[in-house]
Chains A and B, each alone.
Chain A
Amino acid sequence: MDLSPGSAFPDLTLPDHASNERRLSDLVAGDPAVMHCYRGWWCPKEQAFFRRLVALQDALEVSYVRVVSLSVDPPPVAAAFRAGLGARWTFLCDPDRTALELLRLRETTDTVYNPYVPAVFTLFPDRTIHAAYDGYWFVGRPTAGELLGDLRAIQRAIRPDWPAPTP
């Protein structure tokens, strides 16, 4: 599976944190998106990165940007984690690890949880990958500035009215 910039992120269908079947293309729809794969609620590095995303969500909520977080946690766990974080975006759940195998993102060094390797992708509305971040080492994950820079570049490319309409 090629998940490098320029490739299309697969159109996964998975249950969300409320157990509704969701298709990634419906979630991303017509906006840029941050696709975020995380190990699980128990990982301190994930908790730290989620705090970064939560701090950013007030800006994202007025930026026409979607966020989707994906892990092997089942919906009740994802829902509880999401509520505890105060995250207002969709969490997708892959407890059967079907998408994990498809994406080839299993963290092979963790044979207890067999989780996703931490990874972040910024996506165009058609799920073309703009940037990919390998978060196995925490500093490999995008900063808030890097995410906003990616999202600005995507919006500039897709919004025909990016230059403000003026007389």
Chain B
Amino acid sequence: MTWAWFALVEDAEGADLAATMCELDGTPAGVLAAWRRRAKPLRGARRIHDSVLDPDGAAAFVSLVLPPPGVRLPFDDLAVQQARRAVLLDRPADAVSTLLTDASHFEGSVSAFRGADAAARAARDPFARVFPARVLTLAAGLIGRAPAPAGPTIERYGSSQPWPGDRFG
């Protein structure tokens, strides 16, 4: 399976992978959790590309983009297309996945950055121009490094697949 379920929760009991998050001032900000299974574990869970998940992944700064309740945009919306182009154009993040629940709508993203300028790069996340973003610190054990797709293709490989999965099946 090329995708997993992903959610921001208070308690990650039952999740396959999880890591705590904090605001930049150290205030706890919940737990990001992932479930590698077909059945949806929580009402609010979204699909994430499985390639970004890694139990050995180091701590990182993340940009977590989530739409306001009840709001979503088609993946084909020009703003969402342009954000994908900007991701390919910029220095690659350590990992990027869009989030979705159905076949056609962009419902957020998560991008992980490491290195000296990681927080600044997280703050420049192109998807933050589409929906509100939070820059947070993420503990180890959830998100690894996933190479950027070759480009310039920005299409999804099947309607169930979060971008940037780069192959069918």
A interface residue numbers (CB < 8 A to B): 18, 20, 22, 26-31, 33, 57, 60-68, 79, 83, 86-90
Cα A60 to Cα B150 in complex, Å, equals: 12
CB-CB < 8 A to B155: which residues of A?
Answer: 61-62, 64
Q: How far is the CA of A27 from the CA of B157 in the complex (A)?
A: 15
Q: Closest Cβ of chain B: how far from A83's Cβ, in Å?
A: 7
Bound-complex Cα distance A28 to B85 (A) = 18
Least Cβ–Cβ distance between A7 and chain B, in angstroms: 21
Size range of the chain B interface in the assembly: 10 to 19
**Chain B residues touching A, majority SS:** loop
**B89, A61: Cβ atoms closer than 8 Å:** no
Docked CA distance A22–B166 (Å): 14
Cβ distance B87 to chain A, nearest Cβ, rounded Å: 9
Q: Footprint of A on B, CB under 8 Å? A: 85, 88-89, 91-92, 147-148, 150-155, 157, 166-168
B150 touches A79 (CB 8 A): no
Known A20-B147, A61-B85, A86-B89; contact A30-B153, beta-carbon cutoff 8 A: no
Bound-state CA distance A20–B147 (Å) is 8
Residues of B within 8 A of A26 (CB): 147
Besides A61-B155, A62-B155, A83-B89, 6 other A-B contacts (C-beta < 8 A)? A30-B157, A31-B167, A60-B152, A61-B85, A63-B153, A64-B157
Chain B residue, CB-CB nearest to A83: B89
Q: Are A60 and B153 interface neighbours, CB within 8 A?
A: yes
A55 CB → nearest B CB, Å? 12
B151: A residues at CB distance < 8 A = 61, 66-67, 88-90
Q: Are B152 and A89 in contact (CB under 8 A)?
A: yes
| Nearest CB of B to A157, in Å | 16
State whether A61 touches B152 (Cβ < 8 A).
yes
Question: Which B residues touch A28, using CB under 8 A?
Answer: 150
Q: Are A66 and B168 in contact (CB under 8 A)?
A: no
A54 to chain B, nearest CB (A): 9
Q: How far is the CA of A37 from the CA of B168 in the complex (A)?
A: 27
